[in-house]
Amino acid sequence: MTVVLRAKTNDPGDTQMLASSLADLLVDGDLVVLSGDLGAGKTCFTQGLGRGLGITARITSPTFTLANHFKGRLELNHLDVYRLDQIEETLDLDLPELLERGVTVIEWGEQILPALPDDHLLIRLLLGSEDDERLIEFIATGPRWSERLGGLERAVEARPSC
């Protein structure tokens, strides 16, 4: 099962609000893979997700630390694997253990897809035609998301579509 939903946001706050409504759907053990170029809005999206999970700490890009951990309604593991040179390096991240607890969000995660569970939500952020416009695609795969498709559609379709 693969379902693709699309939305358009017009500024960073808009992206964060969308991410925040998505956060309401998240359950322990979820994996969210964020893809998109530098500056596309992956960290911005994660900040909205964190807010939706009730996290008050400031969420910044974990490019150099690789992984940050936060506590809200659920724990949030925020990873950025941009600097990983080889997929073998993902072993150092101890992903199986991370994925057992809380929600895991991986920026640039498409680079390590073969090392990730198939059952995840992939979110692609693309630059739109205007400066602050972003096109966001949600690609839900696997059984974890099949029960939540209605909620996912409602969260996404509350937005103007592209």
Query: Which C-beta is closer to ligand ADP: that of 63 or that of 141?
Result: 63
Q: What amino acid occupies position 9?
A: T
Q: Least distance (Å) from ligand ADP to the CB of residue 147?
A: 28
Name the CA radius of gyration of the chain, rounded: 14
Q: Least distance (Å) from ligand ADP to the CB of residue 1?
A: 27
Query: Which C-beta is closer to ligand ADP: that of 64 or that of 88?
Result: 64
Site for ligand ADP in 18-77 (CB under 6 A): 36, 38-44, 61
- The yes or no reply on residue 43 touching Mg ion (CB under 5 A) is yes
DSSP letters of 76-107?
EEEEE-TT--SGGGGGGGTHHHHHHSSEEEEE
Closest by CA to 21, choosing from 58, 51, 60, is 51
- The yes or no reply on residue 162 touching ligand ADP (CB under 6 A) is no
Cβ burial 54-93 (10 Å sphere, 16+ → b, else e): ebeeebebbeeebbbebebebbbbbbbbeebeeeeebeeb
- The yes or no reply on residue 134 touching Mg ion (CB under 5 A) is no
Q: Least distance (Å) from Mg ion to the CB of residue 50?
A: 13
- DSSP state letter for 5: E
x/- map, 74-113, ligand ADP, by CB under 6 A? ---------------------------------x------
Q: Least distance (Å) from Mg ion to the CB of residue 61?
A: 4
- The yes or no reply on residue 119 touching ligand ADP (CB under 6 A) is no
